Amino acid sequence: MSQNLPWTWRRKTAFASTVGVVTLVLADLAIWALAGIPHPYAAGPVSPDEYVLDEFRRAPINRYVPSYHSPMLRLELKLDEKNLPGLSRTAQFTLNRFGFRSNRLVRVSKQPGVVRIFCVGGSTTECLYLDDQDAWPEVLQRLLASEALGVDVVNVGRSGDTTRDHISLLAHRILPFEPDIVIFLIGLNDLRLHMEPDYSPIRTDSRSVLPEPEVDIRVWVQARICNWSQLVRAAVWAKRRLVSADEQGNPVQDAHGVWIERARQQRRSRTLRKIDPHRYPFPEYSQNLRSLIGLCQANGALPVLMTQPALWGADSDAIEEYLWVCHPSGYRISHDQLWETLERFNSITREIGATYDCPVVDLAQCIPKTTEAFYDDDHFNISGARLVASEIKAVLTRDQRVRKRLLQEK
């Protein structure tokens, strides 16, 4: 009797396993038949040909304005103060009818006696987790209002925007508003763009024939399995929802800032590697800066350039716990190397500004590398935004060209 027990147990286990496998297969087939789940790696590194095809399919609908906000947006943010030093518990994020973060810009045509200043940039200009009144463009508005009447500072920053987006935004959405001064806080997202393994300086509308990207073997295996299994697709999507990631698995900003701490934890677990800052194709950044300046000058606006500050490169290693930025290929980079690379972009900003005689606000040299100014790698907290606005005002009010425009002198 005892000799038959192992066989009975094995048969039961085999039967249960068979039933489980058949059930999963039938469930997978049922999902395929009824409502297929989108492939979570549709634009991922499956093969060079498929990758290029997916890039073409993902071309934006509006090729002239590839990056813009939805108008009339109002968000109430409840923030995690513990992980976001220097921020308030609650913040309000509001966009006007044009998709800009300004409650004063109500019409396209400029009224007599109004001086319009547009602040262009990525998330460090947008200031998502700061209240409408605490974002540095709004602080600058209050500071300049004491210098001249009729000043209207408009925040048109948007997270993730690069100089490619800024050119389109300036040409198609800002110039119709007849700006007098355009302030650019740029370079950080171009650094991240240039680190992409599929970077191409001739990419247009997210479409180009790209070289085969560096493949993460784990992602490659998951992508292959997702070709055949709807259940695996469902599992991948569920994981992304849990960790607040987008369709490519990149972190997505949420209304609480929780994603930042998750990204920090992921960074700590990544392998540390060195990068070669000399390999980045800076010529595109230089050319885009020239295009931005040319567009402003050709339309009667005064361009003002700003360098990008960051926590990177600080003397204290204590800042490590606040950092989350990794290389797009997944590995961790030392903050010293990140700063060295960012400073190369900042150097170009300084050089282009000097060449074209534009006012330059060198924030990279005057904003302290502490949590008194930043809540993560490069985003300003409330006191940091005030410092930024104060530095901008100091430079602008010293520049005779700016003063003439502020005071509307001929």
Residues whose CB is less than 8 angstroms from the CB of residue 78 and which lie 6 or more positions away in sequence, other chains included? 89, 90, 255, 256
pLDDT tens-digit readout, 78-107: 887 778 999 988 999 998 988 899 989 989
CA dist 208 and 164 (Å) reads 14
pLDDT at 336: 93
- In this predicted structure, the answer to whether residue 59 has a pLDDT above a threshold of 90 is no
3-class DSSP state of 252:
coil
Tens of pLDDT, residues 180-212: 999 999 999 999 888 876 666 654 444 333 334
Joined together, the tokens standing for residue 152 give 């209207």
CA angle 202, 53, 227 (to 5 degrees): 140
298: pLDDT strictly greater than 90: yes
Domain 74-199+274-406 grouped into CATH 3.40.50.1110: yes
Q: Which residue has the higher pLDDT, 371 or 245?
A: 371
Asked if the model's pLDDT at residue 24 lies above 90, the reply is: no
Percent of the chain whose predicted confidence (pLDDT) is above 70: 79
> What residue ranges do the domains of the chain occupy?
1-35, 74-199+274-406
Lowest-confidence region among 8-12, 40-44, 134-138, 164-168: 40-44
- Position 77 scores a pLDDT of 84
Provide the residue type at 185 as one letter.
L
369, 310 Cβ separation under 8 angstroms: yes
Give the number of C-alpha atoms closer than 13 A to the C-alpha of residue 374, restricted to the C-beta side.
Answer: 24
**Residue 52: what pLDDT?**
29
Mean pLDDT within 293-316: 96
Which residue do the tokens 């948007």 mark?
Answer: 158
Residue 281 has pLDDT above 90, yes or no: no
pLDDT (0 to 100) of residue 207: 34
Amino acid at 403: R
In this predicted model, what pLDDT tens digit does every residue of 338-387 receive, in sequence order?
A: 999 999 999 999 999 999 999 999 999 999 999 999 999 999 999 999 99
The answer to whether the beta carbons of residues 153 and 119 sit under 8 Å apart is yes
Residue 6: the pLDDT is 58
pLDDT of residue 116: 96
Burial, 373: exposed, middle or buried (Cβ in 10 Å; 0-12, 13-18, 19+)? buried
Q: Give the mean pLDDT of the chain.
A: 82
What pLDDT does 238 receive? 72
pLDDT of residue 57: 37
Return the higher-pLDDT residue of 218 and 388: 388
Q: Given this model, what pLDDT does residue 180 score? A: 96
Tell me what the mean pLDDT of segment 37-42 comes to: 69
**What do you get for the CA distance between the two ends of the chain, in Å?**
108
Average pLDDT over residues 22-45: 71
Per-residue pLDDT at 138: 97
Q: What is the pTM of this model?
A: 0.76
Contacts of 194-203 spanning 24+ positions with Cβ under 8 A: 194/280, 194/281, 194/282, 194/284, 194/285, 195/275, 195/280, 195/327, 195/328, 196/328, 197/328, 197/329, 198/51, 199/281, 201/281, 201/283, 201/284
Q: Indicate the pLDDT class of residue 68, thresholds 50, 70 and 90.
A: low
Distance CA 40, CA 248 (A): 7
pLDDT, residue 54, reads 38
pLDDT (tens digit per residue) in 306-329: 999 999 999 888 899 999 998 877
Length of the chain measured in residues: 410
- Please, are residues 113 and 151 in contact by the beta-carbon 8 Å criterion? no
Name 267's Cβ contacts closer than 8 Å, sequence gap at least 6.
Answer: 323, 324, 325, 326, 332
Question: Within a 10 A sphere around the Cβ of 292, how many other Cβ atoms?
Answer: 24
SS3 118: strand
CB 343 within 8 A of CB 288: no
3-state secondary structure of 112: coil
Which helix or strand (DSSP H or E) is residue 296 part of? helix 283-298
What value does the mean pLDDT take over residues 153-168? 92
